[in-house]
Amino acid sequence: MFSITQQINDQGHLQIGGIDTVALAAEFGTPLYVLDEEDFRSRCREYQRAFHTLKPDVGISYASKALLNLAVCRIIEQEGLGLDVASGGELFTAAQAAFPANRITMHGNNKSEEELCQALTIGVGTIVVDNFLELETLQSLLSPQQELRILLRVAPSIDPETHPYIRTGQTDTKFGFAVLTGDLLRAVSRVRDDSRLELAGFHCHIGSQITDLKFFEETTATMAQIAADIRDETGYATAELNIGGGLGVRYLPGDSLPDLKTYAQTIVGTLRARCAELNMPEPALLIEPGRSLVAEAGITLYRVGAIKQAPLPKGGARTYLSVDGGLSDNPRPQMYQARYHAILANKADQPAQFSYRIAGKHCETDTLIPEVLLPEAAPGDLLAIFSTGAYNASMSSNYNRLPRPAMALVRDGQADLIVQRETLTEVTQMDRLPERLR
């Protein structure tokens, strides 16, 4: 499960980015999100290499919903990727980091007028228009001379094998213009009737944590077919096709994944073959990986607290190991039974022989890992959960009024705080007490 800089050091501790995790926990406290900069950057480069050797005009945008803060924006900017944002908050963060606006793509199935104004003011490169209300709002906001580059989001009617909560491209979806109902065709005509709008092409996203390449093949082929059908009906020639998120990632030691080269070959090869069959010039291709760039570059460090044995109805016992975080810093196990792997970071060289259930500290049965083998654990040990770089910090909450964890960026033996730990004062600072309750 180790990322490229993770290893066990001479003291038998897990090390990441050249730093002992025990020292990281001592310096920054726990729970602590740790982001391995070298690993993150190398994944950005691998993606670009995999696609650009096959097709130089592939645009890669990091889906910032996976993890966003100022430091992440800078890394993505330096690596030459675009940035995909899906809310005013994500866009604001990008602007605060001075991310080049023309490399930003704005998403969202219910963008508010305020968010659209913000996007126009900042001058984002592309807005992915999701529905007719948004289209009308945008048209009302644009001045007669103003020009805007857009993609139309399509519901491609593809249902991949992943958890229903992270499926997005099926027919019965809140996202995008349906093809079957004729909505997409109507949207294309409306856009083409407005000279201020430059229709660059079509966008879709079928879901996340997809590891079977047949779904990427199906998506690419379907999008090419949709573009060809639109061409046949309207004469419009698609310049770009955006096929949404990237490949799934490894959460458990036994997980196997297709490599990035094969993934890129599948997508580019399918596009090439379908365009030839459809007698269509090959459009530029865009992809928006989030999880696969950052998930495996992140770990979370927790301090082990209470350990208890609970008798099981059929005999035997289960050992619960509680940590100082849980549902509030990683809601994924609770939301969609996401699986994770862990080790004891301060006993990383000891054999993992004892079975534990890793429990959070919240007032729900917030199991982080149903069962994992660890060396014999004691209160005060340090637990490292792997592959927490994506959709953990970005989905965190203050449930039970827990302050959100800090995040440290590690590289070449240096650790920098990139997100400060929330304080209890900050957790309560938005509360207001009306006069009548004083």
Ligand X SMILES: Cc1ncc(COP(=O)(O)O)c(C=O)c1O
Q: Largest Cα–Cα distance in the chain?
A: 75
Q: Provide the token pair at 67.
A: 């993890």
Look-up of token digits 């480069």: 45
* Residue nearest to ligand X as judged by C-beta position: 245
- 59 lies in the binding site for ligand X (CB under 6 A): no
List phi, psi (to 5°) of 348.
-65, -20
* Site string (7-46) toward ligand X, x via CB under 6 A: ----------------------------------------
C-alpha to C-alpha distance for 108 and 174, rounded to whole angstroms: 10
Write the burial class of residue 70 (CB in 10 Å: 0-12 exposed, 13-18 middle, 19+ buried). Answer: middle
Give 292 or 388: the residue with its C-beta nearer to ligand X.
292
Give 111 or 291: the residue with its C-beta nearer to ligand X.
291
Give 289 or 375: the residue with its C-beta nearer to ligand X.
289
Q: Which residues contact 17 (CB under 8 A, 6 or more apart)?
A: 5, 34, 36, 37, 38, 409, 410, 411, 412, 413, 414, 415
Least distance in Å: CB of 205 to ligand X?
A: 4
Helix or strand (DSSP H, E) at 428: helix 424-428
Among 63, 199, 374, 393, binds ligand X (CB under 6 A): 63
Give 243 or 358: the residue with its C-beta nearer to ligand X.
243
- 362 lies in the binding site for ligand X (CB under 6 A): no
Give 201 or 245: the residue with its C-beta nearer to ligand X.
245
Look-up of token digits 């199991």: 367
By the 8 A CB rule, do 386 and 412 touch?
no
Secondary structure of 267-279 in HEC code, one letter for each residue: HHHHHHHHHHHCC
Least distance in Å: CB of 153 to ligand X?
A: 8
- 66 lies in the binding site for ligand X (CB under 6 A): yes
Least distance in Å: CB of 4 to ligand X?
A: 20
By the 8 A CB rule, do 374 and 344 touch?
yes
- 244 lies in the binding site for ligand X (CB under 6 A): yes
Among 30, 131, 292, 330, binds ligand X (CB under 6 A): 292
C-alpha to C-alpha distance for 336 and 97, rounded to whole angstroms: 32
| DSSP states of 81-135 | -EEEE-SHHHHHHHHHTT--GGGEEE--SS--HHHHHHHHHHT-SEEEE-SHHHH
Reduced to 3 states, what is the DSSP secondary structure of residue 432?
A: coil
Site for ligand X in 91-110 (CB under 6 A): 107
Q: Provide the token pair at 134.
A: 């948004």
Give 107 or 341: the residue with its C-beta nearer to ligand X.
107
Give 82 or 246: the residue with its C-beta nearer to ligand X.
246
Give 20 or 84: the residue with its C-beta nearer to ligand X.
84
Measuring CA to CA, which residue among 158, 164, 132 is closest to residue 220? 158
* Site string (184-223) toward ligand X, x via CB under 6 A: ---------------------x--x---------------
Least distance in Å: CB of 167 to ligand X?
A: 10
Among 17, 59, 88, 290, binds ligand X (CB under 6 A): 290
Among 160, 245, 298, 375, binds ligand X (CB under 6 A): 245
Least distance in Å: CB of 272 to ligand X?
A: 22
The neighbour count for residue 118, using CB atoms within 10 Å, is 18
Stretch in the footprint of ligand X (CB under 6 A) among 61-69, 215-223, 302-310, 404-412? 61-69
Site for ligand X in 133-172 (CB under 6 A): 168
Stretch in the footprint of ligand X (CB under 6 A) among 51-59, 213-221, 285-293, 352-360? 285-293
Size of the site for ligand X (CB under 6 A): 16
Stretch in the footprint of ligand X (CB under 6 A) among 92-100, 130-138, 283-291, 357-365? 283-291
Pure H helices in 299-396? 332-336
Look-up of token digits 């949709």: 226
The neighbour count for residue 279, using CB atoms within 10 Å, is 8
Q: Would you please indicate which residues are annotated as catalytic (active-site) residues?
A: 363
Let me know the angle formed at the C-alpha of 316 by 313 and 317, rounded to the nearest 5 degrees. Answer: 85
- 82 lies in the binding site for ligand X (CB under 6 A): no
List contacts with ligand X (CB under 6 A).
63, 65-66, 84, 107, 168, 205, 208, 244-246, 288-292
